[in-house]
Amino acid sequence: MPEPQGNVDSQPSPDDEALVAPPPRVGRFRLPPTFASLQHRNYRLLWFGTMVSSSGDWMDQVAFNWLVWELTHSPVWLAWANFARFLPVLVFTLIGGVVADRVERRKLLFGTQTIAMALATALAVIVTAGIAQVWMVIAIAAGRGIMNSFNQPARQSLISELVPEDDLPNAIALNSATMNSTRVIGPAIGGTLIATVGMAGAFWVNVVTFALLLVALAMMRFPPRSEVQHRSSVLRDLVDGFHYLRGHPQLRLLVLLALVPILLGQPYVTMLPIFASDVLHIGGGGLGALNTASAVGAVAGSLSVASFPAGARLGWWMLAGLAGFGLALMVFALSQTLVLSVVALIGLGLLRQTYQASNNVLIQTHVDPVYRGRVLSTLTLDRGLVPAGTMMAAVGSTMIGVQWTIALMSAALVVLALLVAWSAPSLRALKAGSTRSARRH
């Protein structure tokens, strides 16, 4: 069978791997195993840029929603503005995965972030000048969504080019921990900036975070690579990606396990205001505590996966985390006290991230590098499953109450984990794989 067309040269060969991800230098200070991947310069630059830029994204989202509300005082316009921000991700993300497999990923990431910074600058300018209108804001949001469709597959698949294979599981899990940390840091900074320097100041700070990421990308050093001629079309490459998944049942199951639990488990986030108001009676301040508890647990879960030793049975941890996520969510759903709810949410965040980070490591280390961008782009489709799951939860809450609705959805997560563990024993024993073995497979 002929070798599939793709961006083969975007992956380091054994000859130049040392240049891409040199071994850690021996010195008086060594990072603990949880942060081992930070010893590699290229990954360290991406990690720093991601932490700053992602914090800016969450900060921007707070300021963005506040801006739309001040312009319209309409929940409908607020919904439309966020819809415009996320719809392009569903439409273009699979194409973004194809592009990530066809071009050098750092250059692609640099290009998408440059355009996104230009859009962020435009938003800051119109707010500063006092000429912002809701249609302008929505148009900028849609443009940012399109750029994010190409940015996400490139950013995720770039990680494998920055560290040796042995450190790839740690790098993926550490990146996940960073993203979860910014979920707490970013909104807090955004609220503080709005209160101190105003919305315009918050948007200008976001522009600076884009610039810092671009500097980090520019500082990366890669060995020279020859260009690859692509004879196939983008549509052909997209179809080939689906054929590849169809021909690898274990990988296909991992992708389904990344997506389906989002439908059943993620809607609890949207329902948190109802729990805070009608179940726990703790108001807006208590709602902030519930969100923080879940985020803190998620960071702890990601760091736990990052500290797993080489050869850990990540398949077992993934399924155990999924089942534990369902059980912790059930406890939270049926809880009547704030203390138990906070404890359940911390455990929920930890176990959810254990399953998600383990799942992501297994996918990235078992996919053929030629198809990595396309396969990882399918994971972004979870953004479409969240509204569907939220609608299910909303209908169920109207019929039988929010507590029983979330409890039943969480029970379905536990059943799903047990069924997969029983029917796919090879998945339970799955360990972090090798990109070279994936290529040979």
Q: What is the CATH number of the domain that holds 215?
A: 1.20.1250.20
Question: Pick from 223, 256, 281: which residue ends a domain?
Answer: 223
The CATH number assigned to the domain holding 295 equals 1.20.1250
Decide which of 194, 223, 252 is a domain's last residue.
Answer: 223
Task: Verify that 170 and 239 share a domain, yes or no.
Answer: no
Give which of 120, 122, 267, 129 is closest to 208, Cα–Cα: 120
CB 427 within 8 A of CB 319: yes
Range of the domain at 414: 233-441
24 part of a folded domain: no
Where on the phi/psi map is residue 368: left (φ > 0), alpha (ψ -120 to 50), or beta? beta
Number of domain units in the chain: 2
Do residues 71 and 172 both lie within one domain? yes
DSSP state of 380: T
Q: In this predicted structure, what is the pLDDT of residue 440?
A: 45
Same domain? For 145 and 42 the reply is yes
- What is the model's pLDDT at position 27? 45
- Tokens standing for 233? 């079309």
369 assigned to some structural domain: yes
Q: Which residue has the tokens 């549509």?
A: 235
- Same domain? 219 vs 168: yes
19 located within any domain: no
Q: 151 with 185, same domain?
A: yes
Residues 213 and 91 in one domain: yes
Q: Please check whether residue 109 lies inside any domain of the structure.
A: yes
pLDDT tens string, the chain, 441 residues long: the values are 343 444 433 444 443 443 444 444 444 456 677 888 899 999 999 999 989 998 888 888 888 888 888 898 886 787 788 778 878 888 888 899 899 888 888 999 999 999 999 999 999 999 999 999 999 999 999 999 899 889 888 888 888 889 888 888 888 888 887 887 787 677 778 878 888 888 899 999 999 999 999 999 999 987 655 455 556 777 888 888 889 988 999 999 999 998 888 889 888 887 888 888 889 988 766 777 887 888 888 888 878 888 887 778 889 999 999 999 999 999 999 999 999 999 999 999 899 888 988 898 899 888 888 888 889 888 877 776 777 787 888 888 889 988 999 999 999 999 999 999 999 998 988 887 654 444 444
Residue 373: inside a domain, yes or no? Answer: yes
Domain boundary among 199, 223, 247: 223
For residue 1, being part of any structural domain is answered with: no
Of 260, 409, 262, 389, nearest to 334 (Cα)?
409
Residue 85 has what pLDDT?
80
Is 63 among the domain residues? yes
Q: What is residue 250's three-state secondary structure?
A: helix
Residues 211, 251, single domain; the answer is no
Q: Specify the pLDDT at position 75.
A: 67
Q: Which pLDDT score is estimated for 114?
A: 95
What pLDDT sits at residue 5? Answer: 42
Same domain, residue pair 219 and 240: no
Residues 296 and 367 occupy one common structural domain: yes
Residue 374 forms part of a structural domain: yes
Does residue 321 sit in the same domain as residue 207?
Answer: no
- Give the alpha-carbon dihedral of 338, 342, 348, 350, to 10 degrees: -170
pLDDT given for residue 24 in this prediction: 46
Does residue 351 share a domain with residue 328? Answer: yes
How many angstroms separate the Cα of 9 from the Cα of each of 101, 224, 256?
A: 10, 10, 29
Quick one: 335 and 354 in the same domain? yes
